[in-house]
Amino acid sequence: MKCCNSSLKELTLHSCGTLGSLPLGFFTKLQYLNITNFEILSIPNGHGLKISTSLESVKINECNSMVSCLQEALHAPNLKTFWVSNCKMLKLLPEGMHTHLPSLESLSIWNCPEIKSFLEGGLPSNLRLLRIGGCKKLVDCRRE
């Protein structure tokens, strides 16, 4: 992978079944990441998104077996848009969003019924748009 990825700006992975590991650190100029319909997805710690400082958008859709969302791998200082939808088993959003995603402006969470709360530290201070739908546990928790 190392030899041919130096200029890749957009990566879309769709319906690849089980992908054990995705070493995004090889894609140093990656700006847009779209992941759809995976059973298992792991981004190795130390080779994750934290290396791609140019990343601007992450969209994750229909990863029904995913329980946590890019835990310990997401440090993207220029990420502006984060969208996660239709992940039926997802319980945890990325840790430290308020510090690891300082440029985040738009966060959308759709049809992820198992998410109960935003993690400690809260949301990034630059957040301008927050969309939540089909996340009953998250909404109920906020009401309390």
In the prediction, which pLDDT does 42 show? Answer: 56
CATH (domain of 130): 3.80.10.10
Of 17-26, 30-39, 81-90, 128-137, minimum mean pLDDT range: 17-26
* 17 — pLDDT class (breaks 50, 70, 90): low
Identify the domain containing residue 107 by its residue range.
Answer: 2-143
Q: Containing H/E element for 38?
A: strand 32-41
In the prediction, which pLDDT does 20 show? Answer: 60
Give me the mean pLDDT over the 54-73 stretch.
Answer: 77
pTM, whole model, 2 decimals? 0.81
Count of domains observed in the chain: 1
Cα–Cα distance measured from residue 31 to residue 24, given in angstroms and rounded to the nearest whole number: 11
Q: Which of 83-104 are b and which e, b meaning 16 or more Cβ less than 10 Å from the residue's Cβ?
A: bbbbbeebbbbbbebbebbeeb
Cα–Cα distance measured from residue 142 to residue 50, given in angstroms and rounded to the nearest whole number: 30
